[in-house]
Amino acid sequence: MNLQSLDPRVNRLNIPASTMTPMAPKSVLDQFATYEAFIQKKEGAPFTFAGAVHAPNPDVAFLFAKEQYSRRSSCTGIWIVQTAHVKLTPYASDEASIYDSFDIDKPEGVTRPLEPYEVFHQQKRGKAHTHVGRVGATSYEEAYELAKNKFSHLTPVVNVWIIKSKNILQSAEEDKDMWVTTAEKKYREAGAYRVMERIKRFKKEQQRRRSKI
């Protein structure tokens, strides 16, 4: 006996009606690693943290993020970074600056190449991190030091994220046309649904009928 549903598509799945044995636990990577997505809402606006996606690689993460975070609002660019590539400070209290209370020692005796790092600030707990700028450094620790000098006037800062620029997959300038979507999607806006007139007409009609009786 198969499971019977009101939905013909479910009936076509031919699922047995008997109780199923529990599904075996899956590995934590069954649905891939996590990536963090940043969205630019309009030209010139800072990239702002939107949320995470699960994906097998940065390209797929980009496509998922585009679907998930730019589908319903304006967007002019997306940045994608694997979660493991984000270095972050502890969280300070609101109104305070983490730059005042958190220090890290620069690694000594190690020479690494000078590279660009992107710096993100969270201004208030509960809010999203936004991109504040870029520094050139030889380590995350040095990048944090430089960020402190360069951006600590932007208060308050409750949390800082630092990401190597090369680890960020950035949407390209020449692919801009990907952000132009079909203009006519009014059906998914609240403003497209106006029923007051219809309700008023209905009420009037009801009253008219009642007064006739």
Residues binding another protein (CB under 8 A)? 3, 5-7, 9-10, 13, 15, 17, 19-20, 22-23, 25-34, 36, 49, 51-54, 56-57, 60, 67-68, 71-73, 82-84, 86, 88, 90-91, 93-94, 122, 125-129, 159, 161, 185, 187-190, 192-193, 195, 198-199, 201-203, 206
Rounded to a whole number of angstroms, the minimum distance from the CB of residue 152 to another protein is: 20
Residue whose pair of structure tokens reads 């529990």 in the numeric block: 22
- Is 39 or 135 the residue whose CB approaches another protein more closely? 39
Query: With 0-12 CB in 10 A as exposed, 13-18 as middle and 19+ as buried, what is 65?
Result: buried
Contact 26, 10 (CB under 8 A): no
Nearest approach, Cβ of residue 112 and another protein (Å): 22
| Nearer CB in complex with another protein: 125/176 | 125
Question: Minimum CB separation from another protein for residue 190, in Å?
Answer: 4
Pick 60 or 104: Cβ nearer another protein: 60
Q: How far is CA 11 from the centre of its chain?
A: 37
Shorter beta-carbon distance to another protein: residue 11 or 149: 11
The answer to whether the CB of 57 falls within 8 A of the CB of 148 is no
**Which residues, 6 or more positions from 125, have their beta carbon under 8 angstroms from its beta carbon?**
91, 93, 94, 158
Residue 33 or residue 138: which is nearer to another protein going by CB?
Answer: 33
* 180, 135 Cβ separation under 8 angstroms: no
| Phi and psi at residue 111, to the nearest 5° | -110, 115
Least distance between another protein and beta carbon 138 (Å) = 24
**Helix-then-strand count for the chain, H and E:** 5, 8
